[in-house]
Amino acid sequence: MPSKNHFSTLYLSAPDVIELVQRKGVEACLRGIADYIQSDFLRWGSFDKSARVASHSRDGVIELMPIADDQTYAFKYVNGHPKNTRWGLPTVMAFGVLADVATGAPLLLSELTLITALRTAAMSAVAARALARPGARTMALIGNGAQSEFQALAFHHLLGVTTLRLFDTDPAATAKLQANLQGTGLRTVVCTSTAEAVRGADIVTTVTADKTNATILTPGMLVPGMHINAVGGDCPGKTELHADVLRQAQVFVEYTPQTRIEGDIQQLPADFVVTELWEVLAGQHTGRASDAAVTVFDSVGFALEDFSALRFLRDAATELGMGQPIELIPQLSDPKNLFGLLRTHNPLLRAVA
């Protein structure tokens, strides 16, 4: 509960968050965010949930992602603009807020561009721990752009993946990924096509950026026991999997009403059966039916994951003594006299008084 006489919001800038991740370490942040996500998904029924609100344009989308439990409200502002690299901007940019439900007072304002990449990768690993075959050590990584390093490291640290089979239509992206993964212990194999990359892979992660109905993965590429982590298809009109891949697999989602609009399952009828991941984590539904089953995590990104990431950030910043207090909300000696702020600070109004 904020002080009666003064209230400030903790602000974490982009440099603050970079320093926070560097001080704690990428592995510790991935593990921490994954733990917070797992904990919050196990409280699924405690949250007031809704699909994100999206404003689509020719070149991208801007979205608001709200969620709350009975104590804390959170939202994330995030965009997705695949052409942004032409202008020297990330394809995804984000910031987020944690607020006190009892008062509405904003407790935390933070950059979330870097943290969105970490939380997306952590979410993928949480799902794969529940759905992939134990002992999976080889992953195909299709799409080697801004999210790829985070996915690679999450699967390496949280699942024990040791070999990556890489493909991207842009060879420079793959070279960038290889350079960034040097010294991590991951073995990388550069492939010339998606079909070559998935050959021998226990897990396939697709994380492409184009806002199109693409067929990155086709039924002929499936093998028994494969787990597919479909990350790139995350808005209407943007898919990565052939519809028959979904029909031949067990499909798991975050929040069904949102995924039916945005995920790869947008290609299929509304009665196509999917399972929400929280049910598996809570032991209310079986995950993989057998070692031979093909599982798909149709990931679109859900607000609860950002809630978890913001909680992690707040706790980590408190632990490390980081962030700056900012007066995002006016300080009022009389909460009923908002106009009084203008009379106090404007010399012309003060003169009239």
212 token code pair: 């199109």
Using alpha carbons only, what angle is made at residue 268 by residues 264 and 271, rounded to the nearest 5 degrees?
A: 120
C-beta contacts of 17-20 below 8 A and 24+ residues apart: 17/110, 17/111, 17/114, 17/115, 17/313, 18/114, 19/322, 20/313, 20/316, 20/317, 20/320, 20/322
DSSP 3-state of 214: strand
DSSP β-bridge partners for residue 266:
none
Q: Which of 16, 168, 202, 234 is catalytic?
A: 234
167: amino acid identity, one letter: F
Q: What element of type H or E holds 230?
A: strand 227-230
The 3-class SS string of 251-296 reads EEECCHHHHHHHCHHHHCCCCCCCEEHHHHHCCCCCCCCCCCCCEE
Using alpha carbons only, what angle is made at residue 20 by residues 19 and 24, rounded to the nearest 5 degrees?
A: 115
CA pair distance 324, 8, nearest whole angstrom: 9
Give me the DSSP letters along 6-47. ---EEEE-HHHHHHHHHHH-HHHHHHHHHHHHHHHHTTGGGS
Residue among 351, 223, 315 nearest 29 (CA): 315
234 catalytic, yes or no?
Answer: yes
With 0-12 CB in 10 A as exposed, 13-18 as middle and 19+ as buried, what is 69?
A: middle
CA pair distance 201, 184, nearest whole angstrom: 20
| Distance (Å) of CA 312 to CA 50, 101, 117 | 22, 18, 14
Using alpha carbons only, what angle is made at residue 150 by residues 217 and 252, rounded to the nearest 5 degrees?
A: 45
Catalytic residue list: 234
